[in-house]
C-alpha cells in the first residue's frame, strides 16, 4: 500500500530523499540510489501517507547491505513503528530492540490489524544519529463499504454471530471483509457483538442502509 505514496522525513542527507523507500526498488546497496538517509538528527523519522485508511497487517523494512557494522550499531537500532489515522495521531505498534544487521529484511507483524493511514518509523529518543533504510513496505487490506442488514429480508436465521466480540465498529467491518461470502454486517455498540450475513443464507442485504464508510 505504500508503493509510490507521498513520503516524508525529518531531514535529507545528500539527496537521499524519503521517496526512495517507497519506489519499489528493493536494492539494499547505496550505489543504486534506493535508500533514504536523514541528517544527524535528534528524533529522526521517516513516514508515509497511504492516502486512505486501511487495515494494516504488517510492515517490512530493508536495511543497507554495504555499510560498516559499526555504523549499524549507531544508526539502525531500536527502531519504533507508529501507525495513525492522521499525521498528528500516532500510536506505537512495533519495536525492534538493538541494532539491525546490514542487509536485513525485517517484518513488524501486528498482533491485530490496525486501521490507519499514516505509518512512521523512528528510533528511541536515546539514538541521535543519521537514519537510513532502503525500502518500507506496508501490507494492508483496503477499506470498503459495509452495510447494515435488513432483518426483514434476511429472515430469522440469516444472522451469524461472529465467534468473538469486536473491539469496535471498524473491527466488525473487518470481520465481514475477511469472511468468505459476507455481504453485510451490523455492530451492536452495547454488547460489542458483530453480526454478519453470509452467502449461504440465500438472501440479499439492503444496500440502501449503510453501516460505515471507511477511508
Residues 118 and 54: their CA atoms lie apart, in Å, by 10
Residues 61 and 56: their CA atoms lie apart, in Å, by 15
Residues 182 and 74: their CA atoms lie apart, in Å, by 49
> Which class in CATH covers the domain with range 7-142?
mainly beta
Q: Show the cell assigned to 128.
A: 541521535
Task: Give pTM, 2 decimals.
Answer: 0.71
The percent of residues above 70 in pLDDT, for the chain, comes to 71
Res 90: pLDDT: 97
Please state the domain extents for the chain: 7-142, 145-213
Task: Give 3-state DSSP helix, strand, coil % of the chain, rounded to 5.
Answer: 15, 45, 40
Q: Is the pLDDT of residue 148 over 70?
A: no
Amino acid at each position: 500500500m505504500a508503493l509510490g505514496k507521498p513520503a516524508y522525513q525529518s531531514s535529507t542527507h545528500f539527496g537521499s530523499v524519503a521517496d526512495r523507500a517507497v519506489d519499489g526498488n528493493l536494492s539494499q546497496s547505496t550505489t543504486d540510489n534506493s535508500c533514504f538517509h536523514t541528517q544527524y538528527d535528534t528524533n529522526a523519522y521517516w513516514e508515509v501517507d497511504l492516502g486512505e485508511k486501511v487495515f494494516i497487517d504488517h510492515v517490512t523494512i530493508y536495511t543497507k547491505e554495504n555499510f560498516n557494522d559499526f555504523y549499524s550499531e549507531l544508526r539502525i537500532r531500536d527502531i519504533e513503528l507508529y501507525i495513525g489515522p492522521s499525521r498528528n495521531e500516532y500510536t506505537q505498534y512495533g519495536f525492534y530492540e538493538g541494532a539491525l544487521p546490514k542487509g536485513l529484511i525485517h517484518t513488524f507483524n501486528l498482533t491485530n490489524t490496525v486501521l490507519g493511514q499514516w505509518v512512521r518509523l523512528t528510533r528511541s529518543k536515546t539514538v541521535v544519529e543519521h537514519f537510513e533504510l532502503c525500502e518500507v513496505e506496508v501490507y494492508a487490506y483496503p477499506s470498503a463499504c459495509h452495510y447494515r442488514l435488513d432483518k426483514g429480508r434476511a429472515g430469522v436465521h440469516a444472522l451469524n454471530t461472529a465467534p468473538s466480540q469486536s473491539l469496535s465498529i471498524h473491527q466488525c467491518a473487518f470481520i465481514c471483509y475477511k469472511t468468505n461470502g459476507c455481504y453485510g454486517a451490523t455492530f451492536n455498540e452495547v454488547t460489542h457483538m458483530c453480526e454478519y450475513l453470509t452467502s449461504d443464507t440465500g438472501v440479499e442485504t439492503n444496500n440502501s442502509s449503510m453501516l460505515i464508510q471507511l477511508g
